[in-house]
Chains A and B, each alone.
Chain A
Amino acid sequence: GNSVTQMEGPVTLSEEAFLTINCTYTATGYPSLFWYVQYPGEGLQLLLKATKADDKGSNKGFEATYRKETTSFHLEKGSVQVSDSAVYFCALTFTNTGNQFYFGTGTSLTVIP
């Protein structure tokens, strides 16, 4: 079956620290991979995505590389800010069907000044 496993939180970092949130997946085909972010009191919004192996998605200083050999899509940022405090969700879907997104359980990040 298809599933996403991501690092459990909560994660607390000091401002300017390096961030890694691990995400691994199981898929029966070749999915597209996503990171969504949920700021307090808001819905989820797309942070970045990658549609094929070795693609790197990037946005707002965040990066993630689609690693087929390790079935991973780890989220990284070199220097976090207080405004990055949010819940981060890893997800996959198959764009040729588009009907089923598989989400991880979410990782809460708090950045302290």
Chain B
Amino acid sequence: DADVTQTPRNRITKTGKRIMLECSQTKGHDRMYWYRQDPGLGLRLIYYSFDVKDINKGEISDGYSVSRQAQAKFSLSLESAIPNQTALYFCATSDLQGGGELFFGEGSRLTVL
């Protein structure tokens, strides 16, 4: 099983719908992140969390919210999806003691029609 698991892997939805992307990890890391990948733009940080009680906005947090339900779980929500949120979303974890390396899930491809 993967260390960082994302569900769903693929989702097609309509404008205005609420969507939740879930991430769980078995690495025991405190730090978790949500990134968005768009062609030609690389990865952009949406939200990050250093522990269960810590949530921080990244560079593109508008239109998104997150919930850190436990050390191992970090969910990303789109309250009212819009077409320009069509993208590939990645969850990642890190351990500061590990030298800053990020460990990524396999991605969740979201299409908003």
Measured CB to CB, the residues of A under 8 A from B are: 32, 34, 36, 41-46, 49, 51, 89, 93, 95, 98-101, 103-106
27 A/B residue pairs, CB under 8 Å, sorted by A:
A32-B99, A32-B100, A34-B100, A41-B106, A42-B106, A42-B107, A43-B90, A43-B92, A43-B105, A43-B106, A44-B43, A44-B90, A44-B102, A44-B104, A46-B102, A51-B99, A93-B100, A95-B100, A98-B31, A98-B96, A98-B100, A99-B31, A99-B56, A100-B45, A101-B33, A101-B45, A103-B44
Q: Which residue numbers of B lie inside 8 Å of A, CB to CB?
A: 4, 31, 33, 40-45, 48, 50, 56, 90, 92, 94, 96, 99-102, 104-107
A49-B99, A101-B102 given; 6 more Cβ-contact pairs under 8 Å: A44-B104, A46-B101, A49-B101, A93-B100, A99-B48, A103-B43
Residues in B whose Cβ lies below 8 Å from that of A45: 104
Return chain B residues, CB-CB under 8 Å to A34. Answer: 100-101
- Whether A105 lies near B40 (C-beta < 8 A) is yes
SS class, residues of chain B in contact with chain A: strand
When the two chains form their complex, are residues B90 and A104 in contact, meaning their CB atoms are under 8 A apart?
no
5 closest residue pairs by CB, A with B: A43-B104, A105-B42, A95-B100, A103-B43, A103-B42
A46-B4 Cα distance, complex, nearest whole Å: 14
Minimum C-beta distance from A87 to chain B (A): 10
Closest to A108 in B: B39
